[in-house]
Amino acid sequence: MTASPDSSINKVPSESLPGKLPNEELRGSGLQGPPRNGADLHRTGFQLWLHRVLVLLFVFFCATVGVLLVILPWRPEWTDNYFLLASPGLRTFVSNGFVRGLCSGLGLLDIWIGFWEAVHFHDETRP
């Protein structure tokens, strides 16, 4: 005896399959179906604000480190500190104009990266 395809024994709803989410085929292909409930919308909004705050912190961090790297190598604290007093060879190397210029150049690059990220920031639009 064979079961007919219309039999309720052969029908398994996709919600009851373990590991399968509704609209999983759409999500895997890069297309997303409509949100299932209000919690998905809330989570999306939270992720959006989290992304905004992280970009703001990244820009602030880059600007701060960049300004420090531009100014600090030309200050007396750069060579007259506790860590360099024990090794005169390293102190001579650090006080070299090329090394100071290299650090200042890295600082300018860091400032540029932070402001580039701030200018080119855009919110992701989701379907």
pLDDT (0 to 100) of residue 33: 54
The number of distinct structural domains making up the chain is 1
pTM: 0.59
Is 70 a member of any domain?
Answer: yes
Looking at residue 32, the DSSP 8-state letter turns out to be -
Is 63 a member of any domain?
Answer: yes
List, for residues 60-100, the tens digit of each pLDDT value.
Answer: 999 999 999 999 999 999 988 888 888 999 999 999 999 99
Q: Provide the residue range defining the domain that includes 101.
A: 55-127
Is 28 a member of any domain?
Answer: no
Is 45 a member of any domain?
Answer: no
Is 43 a member of any domain?
Answer: no
Is 79 a member of any domain?
Answer: yes
Is 16 a member of any domain?
Answer: no
Is 110 a member of any domain?
Answer: yes
